[in-house]
Amino acid sequence: MKRMVMATVLLVGGCFLHTPTMHAQETHAAAAGNQSLIDQDVSLLRQDIRSKKKQLIAANLSLTDTEATKFWPVYDQYTAELTKLGDRKYALIKEYAQGYGSLSNDQALSLLNRSLVLDEQIAQLRAKYVPIVSKVLPGTKTATFFQLDRRLTSLLDVQLASQIPLVQDQSSGGQ
């Protein structure tokens, strides 16, 4: 487990030291041409994170050859569905960044509500995959996989959230 903790720290630290700045003010100031470059950088970063996440799971989930043969295609399918939800999360962040400094109360609530719906959909996706994964792995390994998945996702979410300014900070007195 120490290996997992160290690898996770390196993953999160390394990924975010080399990411394009996600501050909403800076993203908001970027020209439309720069947005395309930012999107490309974020896409490459997300691919790198998915690759490193898979490596960490492989290193910390002791699978037999038979289990691995059955598990990794399921994992790839799960990741593809999770990536679609990640695309929507990134779209929300971009929308927030583009509106930063001029968000109305209604816009702020809309972003919040859509973010909560997305969180629910991610939880539903995990719940959907528990029985699928448990068909190819024993219960302890299924639980371990989802534990690892949640830990890694939580660490990345905390890192991302720390880069996004609070809505109330968009004006001097809040709205």
Amino acid at 3: R
**pLDDT (tens digit per residue) in 21-43:** 444 445 445 445 566 766 666 66
pLDDT of residue 30: 47
* Mean residue pLDDT across the chain: 80
- Quote the CA–CA distance of 83 and 138 in Å, as a whole number: 25
Q: Write down the residue that tokens 């990134």 correspond to.
A: 90
Most trustworthy range by pLDDT among 16-20, 93-97, 143-147, 153-157: 143-147
When pLDDT is cut at 50, 70 and 90, the band that residue 72 belongs to is very high
Q: What are phi and psi of 23, to 5 degrees?
A: -60, 135
Hey, what long-range contacts does 159-162 have (CB within 8 A, 24 or more apart)? 159/12, 159/15, 159/16, 160/22, 160/93
pTM here is 0.74
Q: Where are the alpha helices (DSSP H) in the chain?
A: 2-17, 24-29, 32-60, 65-99, 105-136, 139-162
* 126 CB-side CA count, 13 A: 14
- Quote the CA–CA distance of 101 and 94 in Å, as a whole number: 13
Q: Average pLDDT in the 141-165 region?
A: 90
Higher pLDDT, 8 or 66: 66
Distances (CA, A) of 72 to 64, 78, 79: 12, 10, 10
In the chain, where the domains are located: 2-167
Instruction: Choose among 64, 76, 75, 81: nearest CA to 138.
Output: 64
